[in-house]
Amino acid sequence: MKKLRTLLVTCCLASSLATAACGTNVETTASQPAPQPEAQPSQPVNPPPSTTAPAQPTTDQPAKPKLPNSIVYTIDGMERAQVKEDQVYKTLPNGEQLKLDVYLPEDAVQEKKYPAVIIVHGRARNPVNLKSRGQYITWGQLLAKSGMAAVTFNYRLSTYENTAESYEDIKDLVSYVRSNADSLQIDKDRMAIITYSAAGVAGLYMPLKERPPFIKAMVSYYNWLDLEHMRSFMEPEDFDKLNAYAPVTQLQREPETIAPMLVVKAGKDSEQINTSIDNFMKLAKEKKANVAFLEHPDGDHGFDFENDNDTSRDIIKQTVAFLTQHLLGK
């Protein structure tokens, strides 16, 4: 295999949102609302009379992140989610244990089972214990507050060389969760999967290839969805093996039968990532696949925790709405 080049990701701030649903020619754009003024500190003594009452915070206003890399949209009380931590779902031949965490609503009761979202992390500068990264903890809390269960987990990191291993770990995680659904308080027949960054190739392979009926929805956040850019860096035989995992490859087979899917793009992401997303969306529209699309036109790769603005929050809210629609019927 030829040496792979490093893919760089550019950064910028975000301002607007464009959405499009596949199979239609309708496209809408939401302009970013004007920022609200910050509340002024109270006066220490005898404040002057005021004719305007101070603004009261609403329950869905973004809270100050409590963890590094927390997502920029929060709901009051989501940090009180119940958590089942560090359950071993797989032991590797070298003895390493792969673990999962389950987030449940604060008022979850043992006799009730909750539809679950499998959260598949991407890569990071510090790849140790990524399930406990602020980004994924706060996604888990947000989904639990929204009435669902969420599963975060560690797996052998997805790289082009070990895509098969990553896929096996993700598949084994899903099997473990379904086999232990009662103790985990999860509805094994109502599950969704959300993948971030480099996790898209291995993480979307099972739901796109096997299309199990218990997967009710898929979400792709700034993923590589087409691997054509790798062809010139690899031997033909190696590329063919890798390309079999590409989401765009699997979409070509009976695209009308896939579970509902939401693809999210960051406009200021790398050209290679965004070209791969554009290629996937072009095929999805041509084949009238059930794929919705959201774009953060000026968003960074990782805008859900990098760009603290209304556009980021709106996309996260729409993502939660998409998942609740297909898992909770709301």
CA 191 to CA 204: how far, in whole Å?
13
HSE value, Cβ hemisphere, 13 Å, CA-based, for 265: 25
User: Average pLDDT in the 149-166 region?
Assistant: 89
pLDDT at 54: 37
pLDDT tens digits, one per residue of 200-249: 999 999 999 999 999 999 999 999 999 998 888 899 999 999 999 999 99
In this prediction the pTM is 0.79
Please state, for a pLDDT cut of 70, what percent of the chain lies above it. 78
Q: What are phi and psi of 78, to 5 degrees?
A: -65, -25
pLDDT tens digits, one per residue of 97-136: 999 999 999 999 999 999 999 999 997 655 567 999 999 9
DSSP line for 178-198 = HHTHHHHTEEEEEEEEEEEGG
pLDDT at 32: 40
Give all domains of the chain, ordered by start, each with its CATH number: 16-22+67-328 (3.40.50.1820)
Helix locations, 103-235, DSSP H? 134-145, 163-179, 181-184, 200-203, 205-209
**Please, what is the average pLDDT of the chain?**
83
